[in-house]
Amino acid sequence: MVMKSTSILTLIVILFIAGIGMGYVVGFSGGAKVTSSVSTPTTTTAQNNTEPFVLTLVITTENTYNATTGAQPAYYILTANGLQSAANIALPVNRLIKLVIINYDDGSANLTNVQDANVSGTQNNIETVVNNANVNSSQGASAINVKGGQNVSSINSTDVAHTFTIPSLNVNLPIPPLSTVTTYLTLNQTGTFSWFCMTECGFGPTGLKGAMDTPGWMMGGLTVS
Ligand SMILES: [Cu+2]
């Protein structure tokens, strides 16, 4: 009877220890999973903060404004889910921003103020232009010499299709027809501002109606936070 009780007690003790062991293993592996899933996004966030914040804008022309006005040009934000309204653009404060503007418009428009052909508010007040014949080519002795991407501080005022302009922050980017413009800038001021296009690319006798005075077309809001 004594031996049998001892055997049962031993078995209970063994099962108890084994239970603790299994609990420890399950708990440990569970804890390890939690630890890795927490650390992954933290690491990703840290990497993103060391890289430029990228804003890609796309200008298209074949957007029907209404039956009377017809097609008008519009800025869009390029996202992972396609083109989204540029009525409200959000940008980070005190962080390097890489701004890319892809322009599908093949025509130029009149600038009310020729000063808006100058680049301002970016690193070294330059922008890089790709794929515009006037900017990226030069007449050589016997042929046109293609230059590829050109860093410029201004565009010929008769060769501007649109601008991306934030007057309150002194940011101005002239965009030639059918070009891609890339630039880097840092915004040091939080707040809500407005962005505009400064060419007369809209509707009406002055070209300042339609897209030019409608948020999400050739103007909109900009929040820096
Ligand atoms: Cu415009």
Residues 115 and 27 in one domain: no
Closest CA to 187 of 51, 52, 93: 93
Which CA distances in Å does 77 have to 56, 59, 118, 225?
6, 9, 23, 18
Distance 130 CA to ligand 1 centre (A): 19
In this structure, the answer to whether residues 8 and 21 fall within a common structural domain is yes
> Which of 35, 51, 67 is the endpoint of a domain?
51
The reply to whether 62 and 160 lie within a common domain is yes
Low-confidence ranges of the chain (pLDDT < 50): 1, 8-9, 11-47
Residue 140: the pLDDT is: 54
Residue 144 confidence (pLDDT): 57
Q: Compute, in angstroms, the gap from residue 162 CA to the centroid of ligand 1.
A: 4
Question: Does 121 lie in the same domain as 39?
Answer: no
Total domains in the chain come to 2
Structural tokens at position 28: 């440990």
CA of residue 127 to ligand 1 center, whole Å: 18
Sheet holding 150-152, edge to edge: 82-85, 70-79, 53-66, 96-103, 180-186, 127-130, 150-152
Beta strands in 67-148 (DSSP E): 70-79, 82-85, 88-91, 96-103, 127-130, 137-139, 144-146
**The pLDDT value given to residue 18:** 47
Looking at the structure, tell me whether residues 214 and 103 fall in a common domain.
Answer: yes
With tokens 């130029």, the residue in question is: 108
Q: How confident is the model over 117-156, as pLDDT tens digits?
A: 999 999 999 999 987 777 776 655 555 556 668 899 999 9
**Separation of 47 CA from ligand 1 center, angstroms?**
35
Residues of the domain holding 15 = 1-51
User: Do 43 and 141 fall within a single domain?
Assistant: no
| CA 156 centroid distance within chain | 26
CA of 201 to the centre of ligand 1 (A): 5
Number of neighbouring beta carbons within 10 Å of residue 211: 25
Do 98 and 24 sit in the same domain of this protein? no
Cβ neighbours for 52, distance < 8 A, ≥ 6 positions apart: 95, 96, 97, 98, 184
The span from the CA of 152 to the CA of 23, in Å, is 66
Tens of pLDDT, residue by residue over 172-184, are 999 999 999 999 9
21 and 5 in a single domain? The answer is yes
Expressed in angstroms and rounded, the spacing between residue 56 Cα and the centre of ligand 1 is 16
Q: What is the rounded radius of gyration, in angstroms, for the C-alpha atoms of the chain? A: 30
Q: Domain with 176 in it: what CATH number?
A: 2.60.40.420
Q: Are 42 and 134 contained in the same domain?
A: no
How many angstroms is it from 194 CA to the middle of ligand 1?
Answer: 14
Ligand 1 is an ion; residues with CB less than 5 A from it: 162, 197, 199, 201, 218
| Spacing, Cα 4 to ligand 1 middle (Å) | 94
What is the reported pLDDT for 135?
A: 74
For residue 163, give every residue at least 6 positions away whose Cβ sits within 8 Å of its Cβ, in sequence order, or none: 111, 116, 172, 173, 174, 175, 196, 197, 198, 199
Residues 39 and 148 in one domain: no
Cα 46 to averaged position of ligand 1 atoms, centre (Å):
37
Q: Are residues 188 and 90 in the same domain?
A: yes
Q: Could you say which of 51, 72, 93 is where a domain stops?
A: 51
